[in-house]
Amino acid sequence: MPFGYVSPAQAMRDKAEYARQGIARGRSCVTLEYDGGILLMAPNPSSALHKISEIYDRIAFAAVGRYPEYENLRKAGITYADITGYQFDRHDVTARSLANYYAQNLGTIFTENLKPFEVEIVVAEVGDRPDGDQIYRISFDGSVTDEPGFVAFGGQADQVSAALKERYSADMSLTDAFGAALAALSTSGNGERNEIAANQLEVAILDRTRDHRAFRRIRAARLEELIRDSRPDSKTDQNTSPETPPSDASSGSAPVGDDGPSPPA
Amino acid sequence: MGSYFDGSQPGPFAGGQAGPGQMRDWASGWPVSFMDRQTSSFADFVASYSPDLLPGRGPGASVAPAAPAAPVTPAPAGGGPALRDLPHATTIVAATCHQGVVLAGDRRATAGSMIAKRDVEKVFRSDEFSAIAYSGTGSAGIEVVRLFQVELEHYEKMEGRPLSLEGKANRLAWMVRGNLAAAMQGFVVVPLFVGYDEEIGQGRIFSYDPLGGPYDEQRFHSIGSGSVFARGALKKLYADDMPVRDAVLACVQALYDAADDDSATGGPDLTRRIFPVVATVTADGFSKLSESESAQYAEQVVQERLSSPDGPAAPLHAAS
């Protein structure tokens, strides 16, 4: 319990600082739109414990921070979506209402709990057409932001976001979007590029064209293929969208280590 | 039935005192907790969150209709005069085949002596490797199917893996049991559940009675008012490990025979192009025959019946 008197303003600031530090300790996660839907990517050494998950037919969830906390939120979100879809209809479940639900929940937790949740989550929904795609970011205090196009959150979010902004353009192909996301996540502070191996990556897409459930994980052979195809040096003639190559050639350094307060390896 | 399923008692996972991180529904005063889920079962959750959403229950009905104190006796068929006219009755057939299983159902719903609906869909995809069909009261059946579909998907999303085929069959038995109070008032729902068991590489059939189940069925099975006729037909037409196409044809023949003798089962309607719904579940997953594919089978059967109205004859002496 707090020792002596702490002003409510100070207590809030302390909580916010605590949560921000917790989130900054881990790795970043990126979400971006491409021509066929939405791509979500995060470094994750574990193949069993996920940061990116399916919530509903066309809605995905991605989180950074403390695993038990965002895992709880993930399950609550799935419950909320399934109950709404069951009570009304599957088409009545939207990312917007889910984002508001998370905002309410996280806001209450931030205010009432002794320790806030050290999480930042993104809820993404793929539309029938590109202009129907939505990405919402909900932070630890319950504030919701609409993030059109792309978002990087958690870890060194500013750096990754800047790197992503350089490479992102609307209506990219999956390969190009993949390359942009991977490059942004691989960029470390001093501009070097640290390679992330396929088994250290968690990747999923919301595929607009799929029936019923749009969410699909990209793993194993398909993931290796995408990593290969998205390298700047393996560009084929069909690849027309501009892509800034990384500043150095790959140094072949070992993949960046573990994840801080995220899923144990 | 004083179980937590009927909402008369709080269950083990019922929303209790609101703890940290739980939302409070200030309007009604009780905690609305989607957080800290103990179970990955959607139906369990609904039972504690809002039991009136469960099949066979109405809004505001948090207590089951008063069960008779005497030993259970079935309600008079169809309940009172108004309730008797709810659409029901049908024939559903299922047959295992080479590396899979076929599930087919007719399209008719009757209310008393009237045909209530000509194009009812009674066969549904429950998930990628299973299918479900129901007999009994139409609206109650649809609710059970819907809840079951959400239950399977919910579990898969929560846990990151689908239920085993037996797990799915058991969950369905639990739901059928939960409908018992309504069944005793005449709104019976009896499903037929089939799935492709990836572990053994075979199709499987599970049947139920109004109290639950499941019963593991071998080879083929049929439920509904026309099931006695369908089963008799399949007895003569079925062969072990038939190719899928043959199993489909056998099922369509069996449905035709059921419609021939049961007024509550509908045969193929060539004028309106309404044909039996046929689904297959194999290693490639669930697949429902398109209208034109189903039409092909139905038209073939009808064409043959023009010369042999009772269908293919079975040899009197088994081949030695």
A 34-53 residues with CB below 8 A of B?
48, 50, 53
Q: Which letter does DSSP use for residue A42 in this model?
A: E
The Cα B232–Cα B263 span in angstroms is 17
Question: Are residues A8 and A226 in contact, defined by beta-carbon separation less than 8 angstroms?
Answer: no
The token duo for A96 is: 């917007």
Counted across chains A and B, CB pairs separated by less than 8 A come out at 58
The confidence score (pLDDT) of residue A4 equals 83
Structure tokens at A235: 């560009």
Phi first, then psi: give them for residue B136, nearest 5 degrees.
Answer: 115, -155
Residues of A in contact with B46 (CB under 8 A): 83, 86
Q: Are A83 and B46 inside 8 Å of each other by CB?
A: yes
> ipTM, 2 decimals?
0.84
Q: Write out the two tokens for A264.
A: 């144990």
Shortest Cα–Cα distance, A91 to chain B (Å): 14
The helix/strand/coil state of B242 is: coil
Could you give the CA distance from residue A36 to residue A19 in angstroms, rounded to a whole number?
Answer: 35
pLDDT of res. A190 = 59
Sheet of strand A150-153: strand arrangement: A150-153, A29-34, A37-43, A201-207, A215-218
Query: For position B186, what pLDDT does the model report?
Result: 83
B154 interface with A at CB cutoff 8 Å: yes
Residues of B in contact with A54 (CB under 8 A): 157
Instruction: Report the gap between the CA of B31 and the closest CA in chain A (Å).
Output: 13
A86 touches chain B (CB under 8 A): yes
| Residues A13-234, CATH architecture | 4-Layer Sandwich (3.60)
Round the CA-based radius of gyration of chain B to a whole number and report it.
21
Residues A64 and A27 sit within 8 Å (Cβ to Cβ): yes
**Contact call for residues B265 and B258 (beta carbons, < 8 A):** yes
- Candidates A32, A17, A265; CA nearest to A161 is A32
Q: Where are the domains of chain A?
A: 13-234
**CB nearest to B34's CB, from A55, A80, A113:** A80
Residue A183: predicted pLDDT? 93
Q: What is the pLDDT of residues B186-226, one digit of tens each?
A: 888 999 999 999 999 999 999 999 899 899 999 999 999 99
Q: What is the pLDDT of residue A254?
A: 39
Token pair listed for B45: 């959750």
Chain A residue closest in CA terms to B50: A83
Q: Which residues contact B81 (CB under 8 A, 6 or more apart)?
A: none
Q: Say whether B157 and A55 touch across the interface (CB within 8 A).
A: yes
The DSSP symbol for A193 reads B
pLDDT tens track, chain B, 320 positions: 344 444 444 444 344 444 444 444 433 333 457 887 878 889 888 888 888 888 876 654 433 343 333 333 333 444 444 455 555 579 999 999 998 999 999 999 998 889 999 999 999 999 999 999 999 988 889 999 999 999 999 999 999 999 999 999 999 999 999 888 888 888 889 999 999 999 999 999 999 998 998 999 999 999 999 999 999 999 999 999 999 999 999 999 999 999 999 999 999 999 999 999 999 999 999 999 999 999 999 999 999 999 999 999 998 997 76
- What is the rounded distance in angstroms from the CA atom of residue B131 to the CA atom of residue A233? 48
Which residues of chain A have a CB within 8 Å of the CB of B126? none
* pLDDT (0 to 100) of residue A241: 46
Omega before B162 within 30 of 0, i.e. cis: no
Chain B residues whose CB is inside 8 A of the A73 CB are 35
Instruction: Tell whether B21 lies on the interface with A, counting CB pairs under 8 A.
Output: yes
Select from A51, A82, A215, A216 the residue whose CB has the most chain B CBs within 10 Å, as the one to mutate to test that interface: A82
Q: Tell me what pLDDT residue A211 has.
A: 87
Q: Helix, strand, or coil here: A244?
A: coil
Q: What is the pLDDT of residues B100-118, one digit of tens each?
A: 999 999 999 998 889 999 9
Q: Which of the residues of B are catalytic?
A: 90
Per-residue pLDDT of chain A (265 residues; tens, 9 = 90+): 557 888 989 999 999 999 999 999 999 999 999 999 999 999 999 988 999 999 999 999 999 999 999 999 999 999 999 999 999 999 999 999 999 999 999 999 999 988 999 999 999 999 999 999 999 999 999 999 999 999 999 999 999 999 999 999 999 999 999 999 999 999 865 566 777 888 899 999 999 999 889 999 999 899 999 999 988 776 554 444 444 444 444 444 433 333 344 444 3
Residue in chain B nearest A53 by alpha carbon: B157
- Contact flag A79-B45 (C-beta cutoff 8 Å): yes
Residue B191 Cα, gap to closest chain A Cα (Å): 20
Write out chain B residues lying below 8 Å of A75, CB-based.
Answer: 34-35, 37, 158
List, in order of start, the domains of chain B with CATH numbers: 4-15+24-53 (no CATH), 90-307 (3.60.20.10)
State the pLDDT at residue A20: 95
Beta strands in A84-200 (DSSP E): 119-125, 134-138, 144-146, 150-153
Asked if B158's CB is within 8 angstroms of A83's CB, the reply is no
Nearest to B37 among A75, A85, A104 (CB): A75
Check residue B173 and give its pLDDT: 96
DSSP H helical ranges for B20-137 = 42-49, 81-84
Q: Does the beta carbon of B245 lie under 8 angstroms from any beta carbon of chain A?
A: no
CB contact under 8 A, B157 and A78: yes
CB–CB of B42 and A85 under 8 A? Answer: no
